[in-house]
Amino acid sequence: MGDAGEEAIALQAARRARRAAQRERLRARVGDLISAINRPLAAVIRDQALRYLPPAALLRFRSVHPSWAAVISSPIFAHSQAGSHLSRPSGLFLLDRRHASSSPPRFLPFDPRAHALPFDPPLAFLPSPSSAVRCSTNGLICAVGDHSGGYFICNPVTGRWVRIPGPPRDPGPDPALVLIFDPSHYNFRCDYALVCAFEAGRGTGVYGFETFSSAAGGWWVSGGAAAPAEGLVAGSGVAARGGAYWRTAIGTVVGYDPAADRARVFPCPAAVGWEGEEWWELGGGGGGAALRCVASTEEAAVAYRLGEGDEWAEVGSIPVGAGAGSFRERPRPLRSHGAEMEVVAWVRGDVVAVDVASRRARVIAAAGPRPSPGEAEKSGQATAHAH
């Protein structure tokens, strides 16, 4: 047999092998389709629907079957579920200002059926249940003990917590804290950072920064990053894109990036004006969103997003007036955290969250009288939380 014949036989063998491989892939696909069609409904719900449930409802399904409990407890499931439910605040941690030193904080959900916490009081699982919630980011909170002074990082849905040492530079009774935690970047170890701003010298108005890293297991103090931040509002801190931000009483924003050990200061939006610190708040950016700000004027609540070059871009506004889709009175903004652009504010004893694009409103009725200027920031009295 010549070379041409051998080449023809080899070509036919290759074609037969390719067709056989195609048939095998087709059989496998048909088998997968048949398995999916005949799959028990319980397994479909477990693998495809559970991640869309809010945490408070999700925890009740752990008792259905051990396989359900295993899925719900897995890190991959935690990441996929978090991406569906951290886009806007779920409710508000609120301290009783009359008995703040002895009463535990309450949690007031926007939707009690979906976002009620499983513990009563909400921090009952901590050694110090009356700890004040100082900051919240992507489902985790930082609470500081009322008498012990202990620092706790915890998940109020699962009741899991860890105690960390206090910062090396004592921040006093009103620490300026920001918790940085992003579950969306395959952070399976749930690493986080807690940043504390401290005044470098009493009365100087210059602030340094110290950071606790869960990955490193300890605190470190910035070597060179410092920022002029006269009137830094301790309870205004939020996290966005890996950085910590606070507003000041003189109309500036202080930012610190612990990864780069770099601080910067930039002005607030022009609509803030010079009426006092109570009429504007920062918003953290969930899901990698940029820093946000809400400024309240006599005419409207205006929402901004931070862009390139630390320039604020107006996103939308909600008018103040008697018309539909308006605030009935000038709202006082609350700091919040989430990917969606919402205005979260005190209005006539209620806490109202209004989506800037759709104007849809969510309400926590009778949350209580709004705090006097600066009270919420100095006492940790009100903290919006998403879970």
Convert the pLDDT of each residue in 101-138 to its tens digit: 567 889 999 988 888 888 888 999 998 887 889 999 88
Structure tokens at 244: 């910590």
Among the candidates 81, 108, 135, a domain finishes at 81
The mean per-residue pLDDT over the stretch 319-326 comes to 82
Separation CA 383–CA 141 (nearest Å): 10
Please count the other Cβ atoms lying within 10 Å of the Cβ belonging to residue 166.
16
Question: Do 231 and 361 fall into the same domain?
Answer: yes
3-class DSSP assignment, residue 62: helix
Burial class (CB in 10 A: 0-12, 13-18, 19+), 221: middle
CATH code for the domain of 224: 2.120.10
Higher pLDDT, 176 or 35: 176
pLDDT > 60? residue 75: yes
Q: Are residues 64 and 100 in the same domain?
A: no
Asked whether the predicted pLDDT for residue 49 surpasses 80, the reply is no
Domain enclosing residue 354, as ranges? 82-385
Q: How far apart are CA 313 and CA 65, in angstroms?
A: 49
pLDDT digits (tens, 9 = 90+) for 230-252: 889 999 999 999 999 999 988 89
* Together in a domain, 340 and 204: yes
Looking at the structure, tell me whether residues 191 and 304 fall in a common domain: yes
Residue 331: the pLDDT is 92
Average pLDDT score, the chain: 83
Distances (CA, A) of 205 to 96, 202, 223, 252, 334: 31, 8, 18, 13, 24
Question: Is residue 78 within a helix (H) or strand (E), and if so which, with residue range?
Answer: helix 75-85
Residue 132 domain-assigned (yes or no):
yes
| pLDDT score at 36 | 72
Least Cα distance to 192 among 118, 136, 262, 121 occurs for: 136
Q: Kindly state the average pLDDT of the residues 78-88.
A: 67
Q: Confidence band (pLDDT; 50, 70, 90) for 286? A: low
Query: Residue 162 has which token pair?
Result: 């860890």
Q: Average pLDDT of 350-368? A: 86
Q: Are 387 and 157 in contact (CB under 8 A)?
A: yes
Cα–Cα distance for residue pair 239/37, rounded to 1 Å: 44
Whether the per-residue pLDDT at 80 is higher than 70: the answer is no
| Contact predicate 169/222, CB 8 Å | no
**Is residue 154 located within the same domain as residue 98?**
yes
* Residue 38 belongs to some domain of the structure: yes
Asked if residue 160 and residue 244 are part of one domain, the reply reads yes
On the question of pLDDT at 43 being above 60, the answer is yes
Domains identified in the chain, total number = 2
- The mean pLDDT value for 290-306 works out to 92
Q: Given this model, what pLDDT does residue 148 score?
A: 63
Identify the band that residue 165 occupies on the pLDDT scale cut at 50, 70 and 90: very high
Do 279 and 298 meet the contact criterion of CB atoms below 8 Å apart?
no
Query: Dihedral through CA 265, CA 168, CA 153, CA 102, nearest 10?
Result: -100
At 244-285, the pLDDT tens digits run 999 998 889 999 999 999 999 999 988 786 655 568 999 987
User: Span 181-190, mean pLDDT?
Assistant: 68
Q: Is pLDDT above 60 for 364?
A: yes
Within this chain, do residues 64 and 202 fall inside the same structural domain, yes or no? Answer: no
Phi-psi region of 62 (alpha: psi -120 to 50; beta: other; left: phi over 0): alpha
What's residue 16's pLDDT? 86
**Residue that is written with structure tokens 């830094």 in the block:** 232
Residue 50 domain-assigned (yes or no): yes
First CA to last CA across the chain, in angstroms? 75
> Model confidence at 367, in pLDDT bands (50, 70, 90)?
low
Mean pLDDT of 136-164: 86
Examine the domain organization and report whether 206 and 222 are in the same domain: yes
177 in the same domain as 60 = no
The number of beta carbons lying within 10 Å of the beta carbon of residue 24 is: 10
Residue 92 and residue 67 share a domain: no
Q: How far apart are CA 383 and CA 167, in angstroms?
A: 21
Q: Has residue 1 been placed in a domain?
A: no
The candidate with the shortest Cα–Cα distance to 154, out of 185, 122, 182, is 122
The radius of gyration of the chain from alpha carbons, rounded to an integer in Å, stands at: 26
pLDDT of residue 94 exceeding 90: no
- Decide which of 81, 110, 145 is a domain's last residue: 81
Beta bridge partners of 227: 207
Same domain, 86 and 56: no
Q: Is the pLDDT of residue 355 over 60?
A: yes
Q: What are the start-end ranges of the E strands in 325-386?
A: 332-333, 336-337, 342-347, 350-355, 361-364, 382-385
Which of 31, 57, 81 is where one domain is finished? 81
34 and 135 assigned to the same domain: no
Helix axis angle, 66-73 to 75-85, nearest 10°: 70
Strands 332-333 and 312-319: unpaired
